[in-house]
Structure 1
């Protein structure tokens, strides 16, 4: 009951129009003052949350994203995807999801994926007659693929927390990620083929056009091969991969495309700093709020209650997924992983639950959290790049929440979708 009133009060505060980072920080600070009688630990909480090596990837990937945007590399990727899909109902939206899928393998970040593809795709879709709701929804949901298709920062954090193979986790996300992308595409085609949502379509591309488009997009396709190949070969870590991606993006845009100079680099750095600052402020506010919840032992008590119910493995997983759906509405991904995983890990081992399988389920659930108000990071990313109000963005994202939930249930019922590939390739999943 305590958590219910806390969440109700937070929602009421956010609905006043207060910025999300301010609402989370003020509410969390007020609760912290009530719980421990002072705010002496506030700075330490925020510093600890933001002083994480993995977070270095966010500004680096944002910088790389803006370099690729200004260098027209993403344009070629997007154009190639559209060449293959332009004859379909909603072909431009389908191309957007395809571009998100490829860029997810470059960035490892949902926010970076939504930012990069959204900046290119949303204006194009609006120009072709797509409603803002459809355009915003496609990019908001497509961006979530950034944490399911490898590399993935949440998977790295989960692997460290559970001492699981990060390579196996990465490979385990490939099949569910591909299924998720295909489900999104099918929905977009159905949505745009229906009466009232019809949009402009082009003729089917010829074989020669497709080959030309692929040649133009070769560098955008090569980038994820370089980043992932370097990681799997042990050349660099996931965060170092972000820096390597920045260097390759600079080399391609400066030396090959010749579309980026000092001015564009400086502007890209400014935009990366601006976006990172906005996201880190939200992360800081979420850290204060989640610290108060942890200090009050609310998540731990809920999870301990579940473990004490003597459930079967499947019942335990289902109850845990429902809990994480609720937590995901109010906490950011890092907090959810760090708060829940250490508590449930002994119960998982006792029930014989495969940590690789659960890791994929967790990440899909975190994808849902990314587009679920009030603390859906992708919602605020789209808001930042479009200047739109949150209402049409949330309406556009709503169907994708149910589609993601359907994929979550599918992977829950068929664990081999997550475990077969890493078991085959690495022999340790």
Structure 2
């Protein structure tokens, strides 16, 4: 059977099992087992046991449940309630006024959650009722929140960066630091769009609240200062080489527990709920990673990655054409799969091609995160769209339409990091790596 026929058969099997409602992790393992049984001489059971144990016992992966737990702890503090009150005074004088709380709030919470959906839900609970009550246009409130909440994937610590780092065997610490400037760039693009819209339609922007002095603004923001310091401690310890990503995750958990205790929101119930929530999410991700590791091994034995790399090389694509083709591929794939599944499904096949094309794996990781961000707001399987649909009751396609400008800004961000790769690579080159 030809490689093309084998690939088509395995892809059809994958979507058939997924369509039947089987969990993604089990589906990946099942397709890998079928592939090895049919097209490889190595015993599938032995390979599955060794691979799944190896993927589950990775020390690097330890950072993932810790960062997830950190986000769960802070999710249950008064952070979301205090954030609007703390941010509003600082953005009153910008064109677009309080719409910027969507962008700034998502940027801050992204640095403690690592999840796009969690960022969308948390900031949405804070800004949607407030901005609607004050008379801001609904399409701008929901559209900017849909786009800005995708920063949960790009601003470190990011769950999907850890997944990419493990599957592509790239330094997670360097990935975290590489995501800082692109994250700031995307936040600036979002805020810039809000400013341009406000200047174009000034009559749609409600009046500003009463002016405050600098010290009054600082007093209103007092609840946010510990969170900002915690973010600085986590990222600063990685950047300076004091801690590895896993050790920094431990610092983040300890700091979030202390912060939660000081705020008075830490009790046995909230502690237990945060631990249960982090455990459930991590187990889901770990099962997907284990299945993906087995599928990657199976694909290697069958020889599909090598043949795919040879086929792509034979097309004679330039680096720019390859990047555009991959961007389109991931955007289409994102219409049907969540971000983590997209990464673990494709890395084993695509990394040989990426390396052969001379693309920096750190840069490629940030590129992947950006295009996966786009998938969060593309129907029919855009997770942020689902979250906002549940919160607002609006139709999925309407939310996707009002989020379209944010999608186009993400396309612009991809173009900028391609034209100026130093946006991604400069900080990691300056950092001291430990572990």
Q: Using a 3 Å threshold, how does the CA distance of structure 1 residues 21 and 98 change in structure 2: closer, same or farther?
A: farther
Residue 224 in structure 1 maps to residue 211 in structure 2: no
1:302-327 CA-to-partner distances (Å, cap 9, x unmatched) read 76643320222222222222222222
The corresponding residue for 1:143 is: 149
Output aligned runs, 1:30-429, within 5 Å.
64-65=70-71, 67-68=73-74, 70-195=76-201, 198-203=204-209, 204-232=211-239, 238=245, 244-254=251-261, 256-265=262-271, 276=281, 280=284, 305-386=311-392, 388-425=394-431
Q: Using a 3 Å threshold, how does the CA distance of structure 1 residues 66 and 163 change in structure 2: closer, same or farther?
A: closer
| Structure 1 position 414, deviation (Å) | 1.8
1:279-322 CA-to-partner distances (Å, cap 9, x unmatched) read 959x97xx89xx8xx98999998766433202222222222222
Q: Using a 3 Å threshold, how does the CA distance of structure 1 residues 85 and 338 change in structure 2: closer, same or farther?
A: same
CA distance in 1, matches of 2:57, 2:69: 18
Q: Using a 3 Å threshold, how does the CA distance of structure 1 residues 300 and 389 change in structure 2: closer, same or farther?
A: farther
| Structure 1 position 107, deviation (Å) | 2.2
| Structure 1 position 181, deviation (Å) | 0.3
1:116-162 CA-to-partner distances (Å, cap 9, x unmatched) read 22222222222222344322222222121122222223223333333
Check whether the contact 2:65–2:278 (CA below 8 A) recurs between aligned residues.
yes
Q: Using a 3 Å threshold, how does the CA distance of structure 1 residues 346 and 318 change in structure 2: closer, same or farther?
A: same
| Structure 1 position 193, deviation (Å) | 4.3
The corresponding residue for 1:14 is: none
**What is the aligned-residue RMSD (CA, Å)?**
4.7
Q: Using a 3 Å threshold, how does the CA distance of structure 1 residues 163 and 262 change in structure 2: closer, same or farther?
A: closer
Q: Using a 3 Å threshold, how does the CA distance of structure 1 residues 423 and 235 change in structure 2: closer, same or farther?
A: closer
Q: Using a 3 Å threshold, how does the CA distance of structure 1 residues 250 and 119 change in structure 2: closer, same or farther?
A: farther
1:308-357 CA-to-partner distances (Å, cap 9, x unmatched) read 20222222222222222222222222333233333333333333222222
| Structure 1 position 241, deviation (Å) | 5.2
- Unpaired segments of 5 or more residues in structure 1? 12-17
Check whether the contact 1:130–1:197 (CA below 8 A) recurs between aligned residues.
no
Q: Which moved more, 1:81-90 or 1:336-345?
A: 336-345
Number of aligned residue pairs? 414
Q: Using a 3 Å threshold, how does the CA distance of structure 1 residues 129 and 22 change in structure 2: closer, same or farther?
A: farther
1:8-67 CA-to-partner distances (Å, cap 9, x unmatched) read xx99xxxxxx9x978999x99xx99x9999xxx9xx9xx99x979899888866665565
With normalisation by structure 2, the TM-score equals 0.74
CA distance in 2, matches of 1:128, 1:399: 23
- Secondary structure of the structure 2 residue equivalent to 1:150: coil
The corresponding residue for 1:15 is: none
With normalisation by structure 1, the TM-score equals 0.75
Check whether the contact 2:71–2:114 (CA below 8 A) recurs between aligned residues.
no
- Unpaired segments of 5 or more residues in structure 2? 39-44
1:169-220 CA-to-partner distances (Å, cap 9, x unmatched) read 2222222111100000111223344438723232443222233234442112
Check whether the contact 2:240–2:432 (CA below 8 A) recurs between aligned residues.
no
- Secondary structure of the structure 2 residue equivalent to 1:202: coil
| Structure 1 position 406, deviation (Å) | 0.9
